Structure 1
C-alpha cells in the first residue's frame, strides 16, 4: 500500500486475489502480512501447539512478558526484541509439533492445507490490516500436500519468499547453505531459494544484489516475490516462461501470476499494468 489510508483494506484485497487463483493452487495457501509490533517488541508466528500455554511457559522461562494472539492453528507471540533469539532456541529445544513460520518486528506468516478461500477465512485474512502482504496458492506437483510445504517460506528476519517455477540445483545448494548455518524445515526447492537470499543478505548484499546473484547461482526457471520489513521485490529468470503481471496506481502496487487476480482491485481500470521484464529486479519500499 503506497497510500497509508488503504492499509485497513490490505487483508480483504489480498484474500480476494487468492480466491481468484484457486484453480492454479487448490492444495494449500499461505500469506504474510506486514504490520508493526509495539516499539521494542518482536513477533514469532508459531504453527501448532497451544499458543496460550506456550506463551506462559516461554515468559516464565525467559522472565519476560509474552503476549499471544491466536489465529486458528497459528499463534503470534509478541515479546521483547532482544529475547527473540533466546525464545527461538527455547522453542526449538524439546517442543515437537511446533514450527516457527515467521519472525521479526513486522511479519506474521500463516499457511495451511486447503482451498485458498477456506485458508483465508480460517485465519481471518479479510480483517487484517498492514502495509504490505504476500500470498500464494499451491498445486503440489513435486512434493506432498502438507502445511509445511505451503508458501511463503521464511528463513530470515522479516523476510519471506513465494516462488513460481522449479530449481534443478536446489539439493546441492541446500548442502552449501546448511554449512553456512541456514536451517530448513522441508525438502521444497522454494525454501532453498529463500535460504539463499537470507545467506546473501547476511553476507552484506542488499535484497536487489542477492536476487541478481541468484540469476547466476540458481539453475532453473522461477518468478520470485520476496517480502521484507519495508516492502517487496519481484524478479523473473532470464527466460521468464512463467506468467507475471504487475499493476501500479498512486495508492498501491500489486503483482500476480495472472491479470484476473488483479481485476478486482480498486482503480485497476486506470492502473499502469505491465509485464515485468526478464532478469530485472522490481522493488518497492514504504516511505
Structure 2
C-alpha cells in the first residue's frame, strides 16, 4: 500500500520549518506503511562540492571513516552523523576517488545518494521512530519528499526502504506495484545498472536513470515510463531545484495535492496535509492520470 508525501516551499520564510512539516506529513501516513520509512531533504550546499549520503550499522564509527578519507578527499570531509547514516561533503573533483576508496576500504558502508543539496535517510521501523531517529523535525531546506512502506514484493530491510536515488540530487518514492519489474531489472542489468534489492521501486528509479543516460530529460523519462512500466504507480521525484509527480494512466492509487502562495504539497491522502499552514485556503486537487507535474525553484 505505502504512503508518499512531498512538500515544495515557495516562501523562504518557511524553510526552517521544512523538517517539522515533512515529519508531520510522514507520520500521518503510518498506517499506509508501518514497516519502514525514509525521506530526502534538500538543504544548503557548497559550490563545487558533493554530499554523499552514507548508511552503515548502528554505532558505526563514521568519524574514523572521515579521517581515513582525508588524503583521498584532499582534506578531512565535512561530516554530519545521524544514527545509522552520515553525510560527508567532498570536492566534486574528488567524488570518483572517494567513491572508489569507499568501495575498496569500507565495503560495509552503502552510498544511498549524492548531490550538492540532497540528503537521504531511511530505516526500518515506524515512521514516527524513523523521523525521531534522524531528527527530521529540526532539518531545514527548500523541499523534501518522504515514504512510509508496507512491504509486499520484497523483504523489510533498510536497503529496501525509499527513497531510491535516480541520479545526482535526484531521488524517487513510489506507491503502487510494477508487474514487469523482473524483466526490466534483467534488461537494465544488461545495460550496466546494478541493484541492491528485489524492490520494484528500485527498478523504477533505475529505469529513470537509464533513460536520462540516453539523453532524455526527467520529464521525458517519466513520460516514457507510462509505456514501459507495466502496473499501477504514483511517483514523487525530488531534484536539486524542485519536485515532480506522475500517476499511471489508470490512477488507481490515491493522491491529493494542495497549493498556496507559500508551498505545494503532495500526500497519498488529504489527511497528510491537514496540519500545513494555511491549508484551509489552499487550492486542493487530485493530479490527473498520465500527467507530469513539476514545480521548480528556477521557474
TM-score by length of 1: 0.97
Residue correspondence of structure 1 range 82-93 to structure 2 within 5 A: 82-93=93-104
Counterpart of 2:185 (choices 162, 170, 174) is 174
Q: Does 1:40 align with 2:51?
A: no
- Cα offsets for 1:162-190 (capped at 9, x unmatched): 00011111111112222223222111110
Does the 8 A contact of 1:233 with 1:282 survive in 2? yes
Residue correspondence of structure 1 range 198-209 to structure 2 within 5 A: 198-209=209-220
Offset at 1:94?
4.2
Residue correspondence of structure 1 range 42-121 to structure 2 within 5 A: 42-48=50-56, 49-121=60-132
- Matched pairs, number: 287
In 1, Cα distance between equivalents of 2:258 and 2:74: 47
User: Relative CO higher for 1 or 2, CA cutoff 8 Å, sep ≥ 6?
Assistant: 2
Q: Does 1:129 align with 2:146?
A: no
For residue 257 of structure 2, give the secondary structure of its aligned residue in structure 1.
strand
Q: Which of 112-121 and 93-102 deviates more?
A: 93-102
In 1, Cα distance between equivalents of 2:201 and 2:155: 14
Counterpart of 2:14 (choices 6, 9, 27) is 6
TM-score by length of 2: 0.93
Does the 8 A contact of 1:37 with 1:78 survive in 2? no
Offset at 1:252?
0.3
Q: Structure 2: which 5+ residue stretches go unaligned?
A: 1-8
Does the 8 A contact of 2:11 with 2:261 survive in 1? yes
Q: Does 1:140 align with 2:154?
A: no
Q: Structure 1: which 5+ residue stretches go unaligned?
A: none
Moved over 6 A (4+): none
Q: Which of 136-145 and 186-195 deviates more?
A: 136-145
Q: Does 1:233 align with 2:244?
A: yes
CA RMSD of aligned residues (A): 1.1
Does the 8 A contact of 1:64 with 1:80 survive in 2? no
